[in-house]
Amino acid sequence: MKLVIDFSFEDRLGIPKTKINVDDYLTLYDGEVKNSLTFDFDCTAGDHELRITHYGKTKHQAACIDYDKHMEITAIIMDDVPLEQELWMGKFYPVYLHPSDNEPTYIQPNLYLGHNGTWVLPFRYPCLNWLIDLRKAGPDIKDTIFSTSDKKLIQAIEFFKGVDDV
Amino acid sequence: MSRAVILSLPRFAALRPQAAPAAIKSILETHGVSATVIDINLAFQSQFKQSVDPKDYDSLDRWMFTSIDLTLEQTNLLKNFINTQVDTILQHQPQFIFISVFCWQCQKSTRLLCEYLRKVTSAKIVIGGQGLINQENGSFSSIPYFAHELARRGLIDHWVRGEAESTVMNIVNDNLPCAGVDTDSYATYSDVNLHEFWDFSDTDPRDYSSGYTSGVLPMETSRGCIRRCSFCDIPTVHGGFRAKTGERLSQEIIHYYEKHEVENYFFHDALCNGSMKDFRIFNESLLEFYENHNLPLRTIRYSSHAIVRSSSQMQETDYERMSKAGADTMVLGVESGSERVRGEMRKNFSNSDLDYTMMMYSKYSIQVYLLLIVGFPNEYEEDFQQTLDMLSRYQKYVADGTIIGVNLGTTLTVEEGAPIYNEWQSFGLEPTNGANRPIGPDWRSRDNPSLTYKERIMRRIRAQEHAVNLGYIFWKGDDQMDILMDKYQQRLARLQGLVH
């Protein structure tokens, strides 16, 4: 799977650190964030989670009012296709340095990782099929003169399987 | 009272008003003959469909293009529908009834309506259109068999072979004989830049299932084609490439936009980018119109067939400008993923040209509809695999919304008028099933003998399975499977001596 993640970030208090995982076990990157990170890795078919963690921000940095040390996801491209609305499916689970009772467990929609914490995007591989299913682009031709159905295809397969080659 | 009525008959997709009736109405009225367009095809697919049991409608619909039998009840439903349409036609007390036979799937309804009309009116019945021939995938036949059949049975007075512009008024004025009227030869080719603008005043584009709020109107940019693809008979039918100038085309589309307030147009001819010079002028004229009228980019949107061109012929700026002008969906005859196969098809573009084209359409948010042909004579298994691989490679364009459809047709048939028909020996073809020469699906390749008709169909099925699994929106699959099964069944029956 080809994965490109683009970031913008504030580095005047130091470059933010990030760890990028797929599910629990595959770490794609761990270190200072960059404007663009590209990965090519094997991915099994099925459901997965892309996890982008912002870490290393200190209480002192969090208290700074002139600059907010942060990173922001500006683009994610999966197998050459940029995510669009799907980006807003990601949930950011902050680790609050100054916890209070009414902070939300997660923030969504959100691509701005100001707090330490992990942004989690569920996806399915092959991701092109996942995106096609989600987007349902193009006209709806069901029940029109143009339609195509599995039922008719199966009927045709059965029909031609048994006939002589003439 | 109209001196003429112009009819569209089932069965073809009722996506927008049909071009030919609007063109004929315009010709007639320009010459002082009042005319009314009645879209019976639309009535069949809308009011009639909603008024009957879905199963009955499905049978009646399939009856139009297969050999299935109708029940007595279904036959009565059809008769009632035809009677209603005849009543509507007679209300106009026409002296001429022009019937546009859009394709072979309109033949049954045409035959039936003519039988009814003959009994109740003395109006002259004139038929024309691509459906005058029996070829199912082609546009050309040296003999318009269907027209001959109806004439022989006394069901029509005249047929038009080719263009309305050079024939219709000769019929009305009884200025006969005339090339293209009741002849096997074609009418004189007209100058497309002298055509009247079409008259859509009898139809409301919003009544059609176009998927666009303000509906879609048909237009044409040209007749003929600049290419000579070996499977295609278009140049034989339409002669040399004749394109409207860019200025004329933009004037016409703006005229329709201002008159009908329709924002979407479909160019139904073979290609909009045959003349790059005129195509550029057309796009620039639209952009100028938007600027002068303070309208946003893409106010008018057009969809069209287009050819794949190299990056030197069609540069990035061309894609950018056409996108801003309003290019919506381009129908591309890609045909095969194999360069070798496309070479023999004389398609004249490489895989890198195609990759570039797809990348540009994606970059400038212009949608694409792919046409493919399975089972060309020199398509070996590895070539077919390249077609499947191409579909896999372009899946990303389905995901990003560029590709909005794929159509695989009903496998390669040899059509009269196409180079592969005329030069069949040089393509290494042999006739099968007792045919004198390769025709339709009755051919075999000497060099590729395992590519039997059944094998071609099986590949066609595999390609559909593959495309559907990849998430492509697959168009007309059910129709095409019905046609393939029906024709194959007839073929088996014929070989077994059941049908003669």
pLDDT in tens, B334-345: 999 999 999 999
Whether residue B352 contacts residue B342, with contact meaning beta carbons closer than 8 Å, is answered with: no
Do the domain assignments include residue A125? yes
Taking the alpha carbons at both ends of chain A, their separation in whole angstroms is 44
> Is A164 a domain residue?
no
pLDDT of amino acid A99: 73
Residue A79 lies in a domain: yes
- Spell B224-234 as b/e; 16+ CB within 10 A means b: bbbbebbbbbb
Residue A148 maps to a domain:
no
Closest CB from A80, A138, A165 relative to B396: A80
Q: How far is A106 from chain B (nearest CA, A)?
A: 29
Assess contact for B385 and B394: CB atoms under 8 A: no
pLDDT digits (tens, 9 = 90+) for B61-106: 999 988 899 999 999 999 999 999 999 999 999 999 999 999 999 9
Report if residue A106 sits inside a domain: yes
- Residue B267 neighbours by CB under 8 Å, 6+ apart: B218, B219, B220, B221, B302, B303, B304, B305
Per the prediction, chain B carries an average pLDDT of 95
Token pair belonging to B368: 């694409």
The mean of the pLDDT values for chain A is: 94
CB contact under 8 A, A141 and B473: yes
Closest partner residue to A153 (CB to CB) among B12, B473, B477 is B477
Flag if B398 and A128 touch (Cβ within 8 Å). Answer: yes
Name the minimum distance, in Å, from the CA of B414 to any CA of chain A: 17
What pLDDT is recorded for position B1?
A: 63
Two structure tokens written together for B329: 């969906």
Q: Tell me whether residues A159 and B485 touch, CB distance under 8 A.
A: yes
* Domain assignment of residue A119, yes or no: yes
**Nearest chain A alpha carbon to B485:** A156
Total-model pTM: 0.90
Measure the CA–CA gap between B159 and B129, rounded to whole angstroms.
9
How far is Cα A37 from Cα A54, in angstroms, rounded to an integer?
15
pLDDT at residue A94, as a whole number: 95
Give the pLDDT of residue B368. Answer: 97
Q: Quick check: B68 contacting A, CB < 8 Å?
A: no
Chain B residues touching A164 at Cβ < 8 A: 492
Alpha-carbon separation of residue B373 from A141, B152, B411 (angstroms): 21, 36, 6
A142 to chain B, any CB pair closer than 8 A? The answer is no
Taking the Cβ of residue A99 and every Cβ of chain B, the question of whether any pair is shorter than 8 Å is answered with no
Of B437, B421, B430, B351, whose CA–CA distance to B386 is shortest? Answer: B351
pLDDT at residue B26 tops 70 = yes
Is the pLDDT at B500 greater than 60? The verdict is: no
- Structural tokens at position B78: 């059809």
As a whole-number percent, the residues of chain A with pLDDT over 70 amount to 100
Query: Is B401 an 8 Å CB contact of chain A?
Result: yes
Task: Quote the number of domains for chain A.
Answer: 1
Stretch B151-159: mean pLDDT, rounded?
Answer: 98
Question: Residue B367: how many CB atoms within 10 A of its CB?
Answer: 21
Position B498 pLDDT exceeds 70: no
Q: Which residue of A has its CA nearest to B434?
A: A166
State the pairing for strand pair B96-100/B4-8: parallel
**Backbone phi, then psi, for A127, in 5-degree steps?**
-75, -20
What residues of B are in contact with residue A136 (Cβ under 8 Å)?
Answer: none
Yes or no, beta carbons of A133 and B367 under 8 Å apart: no
Q: Is A144 on the interface with B (CB under 8 A)?
A: yes
What whole-number distance in Å separates Cα of residue A143 and Cα of residue A127?
28
Band of residue B456 on the pLDDT scale cut at 50, 70, 90:
very high
Q: Does pLDDT of A27 surpass 90?
A: yes
Of A13-17, B65-69, B465-469, the least confident? B65-69
Cβ distance of B399 and A156 shorter than 8 Å: no
Distances B98 to B3, B7, B34 between C-alpha atoms, Å: 11, 6, 13
Residue B352 has pLDDT above 90, yes or no: yes
- B455 contacts in A (CB within 8 Å)? 165
Q: What is the pLDDT of residue B184?
A: 95
Tokens coding B28 = 């007639």
Residue B154 pLDDT greater than 70, yes or no = yes
In a domain, A24, yes or no: yes
CB contact under 8 A, B477 and A135: no
Interval A105-161: pLDDT, tens: 999 999 999 999 999 999 999 999 999 999 987 777 877 778 899 999 999 999 999
Q: Which of A124, A125, A120, A123 is nearest to A110 (CA)?
A: A120
pLDDT, tens only, A32-44: 999 999 999 999 9
B102 at interface of A, judged by CB pairs closer than 8 A? no
The residue range of the domain holding A118 is 2-138
- Res B423 pLDDT > 70: yes
Residue written as token pair 């570039």: B356
CB-based contact, B452 to chain A, within 8 Å: yes
Rounded to the nearest 10 degrees, what angle do helices B107-120 and B145-152 cross at? 20
Confidence of residue B499 (pLDDT cuts 50, 70, 90): low
CATH code at position A50 = 2.60.60.40
Residues 6+ away with beta carbon under 8 Å from B497: none
> What mean pLDDT comes out for the span A86-109?
90
In a domain, A145, yes or no: no
Q: Residue B22 and residue B252: Cα distance in Å, rounded?
A: 14
In tens, the pLDDT along B389-399 reads 999 999 999 99
- The 10s digit of each residue's pLDDT in B115-150 is 999 999 999 999 999 999 887 767 778 899 999 999
- Give pLDDT, residue A162: 86
A95 touches chain B (CB under 8 A): no
pLDDT at B497: 76
Residue of chain A whose Cα is closest to the Cα of B444: A166
